[in-house]
A and B are shown apart, each in its own frame.
Chain A
Amino acid sequence: MDLFGYTYMQRAFVAGVLVGALCAVVGVYVVLRGLSFIGAGISHASFGGVAIGLALGVNPVWTAVVFCLAVGWGIGLTVQRGNVKEDTAVGVFFASTMALGVLILGLIGGYQVDLFSYLFGSILAVTMQDVWTTAAIAVLVLSLVAWLYKDLMFAVFDSETAEVIGVPAGRLYFLLISIIALTVVMSIKVVGIVLVSALIVTPAAAAYQLTERFNKMMLLSIAFGVGSCVAGLIIADRLGFAPGAAIVLLSTLAFFLCTLFSPRRRKTPFQDADESGLPKTSA
Chain B
Amino acid sequence: MSATLQSESPVVRVDDVSVTHHGMLVLDHVSLTVPKGTFVAIIGPNGAGKTTLLKVILGLIKPDSGRVELFGKPVEELGHERSRIGYVPQIMTIDINFPITVFETVLMGRYGRTGVGRRPTAEDKEAAMAALEKVGIADLRDRPIRRLSGGQRQRVFIARALANEPDLLLLDEPTMGVDIATTGTLYSLLKELKNEGVTILLVSHDVGVVAAYIDSVACLNRYLVAHCRPDELVCTDALRKMYGCDTAFLHHGRAPHIVVEDH
- Residues of A contacting B35 in the complex (Cβ-Cβ under 8 angstroms): none
Given A277-B155, A280-B139, answer yes or no on A166-B89 (Cβ-Cβ < 8 Å): no
- A136 interface hit (Cβ, 8 Å): no
Name the contact of A161 in the complex, choosing from B89, B101, B104 (C-beta under 8 A): B89
Query: Would you call B111 and A275 a contact (CB within 8 A)?
Result: no
Query: Would you call B95 and A157 a contact (CB within 8 A)?
Result: yes
- Residues of A contacting B182 in the complex (Cβ-Cβ under 8 angstroms): 276-278
Distance A279 CA – B164 CA, assembled complex (angstroms): 23
- Residues of A contacting B164 in the complex (Cβ-Cβ under 8 angstroms): 165
Given A164-B87, A165-B87, answer yes or no on A277-B80 (Cβ-Cβ < 8 Å): no
Q: Which of A101-109, A110-118, A122-130, A209-217 contacts B (4 or more CB under 8 A)?
A: A209-217
Query: Would you call B119 and A166 a contact (CB within 8 A)?
Result: no
Distance A157 CA – B145 CA, assembled complex (angstroms): 12
Q: How far is the CB of B23 from chain A (nearest CB, A)?
A: 10
Query: Would you call B144 and A212 a contact (CB within 8 A)?
Result: yes
Q: Which of A57-65, A143-151, A177-185 contacts B (4 or more CB under 8 A)?
A: A143-151
Query: Would you call A277 and B119 a contact (CB within 8 A)?
Result: no
**Listed residue (A163, A168, A270, A280) with the most chain B CB atoms within 10 angstroms of its CB:** A270
Query: Would you call A277 and B181 a contact (CB within 8 A)?
Result: yes
Distance A217 CA – B98 CA, assembled complex (angstroms): 11
Query: Would you call B179 and A277 a contact (CB within 8 A)?
Result: yes
**Listed residue (A153, A168, A275, A277) with the most chain B CB atoms within 10 angstroms of its CB:** A277
Q: How far is the CB of A85 from chain B (nearest CB, A)?
A: 12
Distance A198 CA – B117 CA, assembled complex (angstroms): 30
- Residues of A contacting B138 in the complex (Cβ-Cβ under 8 angstroms): 279
Distance A214 CA – B98 CA, assembled complex (angstroms): 8
Give the nearest-CB partner of A154 in chain B: B108
Q: How far is the CB of A233 from chain B (nearest CB, A)?
A: 29
Give the nearest-CB partner of A218 in chain B: B99
- A2 interface hit (Cβ, 8 Å): no
Distance A69 CA – B138 CA, assembled complex (angstroms): 44
Secondary structure dominating the interface of B: mixed
Interface residues of B (CB under 8 A from A): 22, 55, 58-60, 78-80, 82-83, 85-87, 89, 93-101, 104-105, 108-109, 111-112, 114, 116-117, 119-120, 136-140, 144, 146-155, 160, 164, 178-179, 181-182, 185
Secondary structure dominating the interface of A: loop
Query: Would you call B179 and A164 a contact (CB within 8 A)?
Result: no
Q: How far is the CB of B73 from chain A (nearest CB, A)?
A: 13
Given A151-B111, A163-B60, A278-B136, answer yes or no on A269-B146 (Cβ-Cβ < 8 Å): yes
- Residues of A contacting B85 in the complex (Cβ-Cβ under 8 angstroms): 164-165
List A211-253 residues whose CB lies under 8 Å from chain B. 211-214, 216-217
- Residues of B contacting A267 in the complex (Cβ-Cβ under 8 angstroms): 147
Query: Would you call B116 and A157 a contact (CB within 8 A)?
Result: no
Distance A274 CA – B181 CA, assembled complex (angstroms): 12
List A164-211 residues whose CB lies under 8 Å from chain B. 164-168, 208, 211
Query: Would you call B99 and A271 a contact (CB within 8 A)?
Result: no
Query: Would you call A279 and B137 a contact (CB within 8 A)?
Result: yes
Q: Please list the 8 inter-chain residue pairs (A to B) with the smallest Cβ-Cβ separation, ordered nearest first.
A: A277-B151, A166-B82, A165-B112, A166-B112, A212-B144, A273-B149, A277-B149, A164-B87
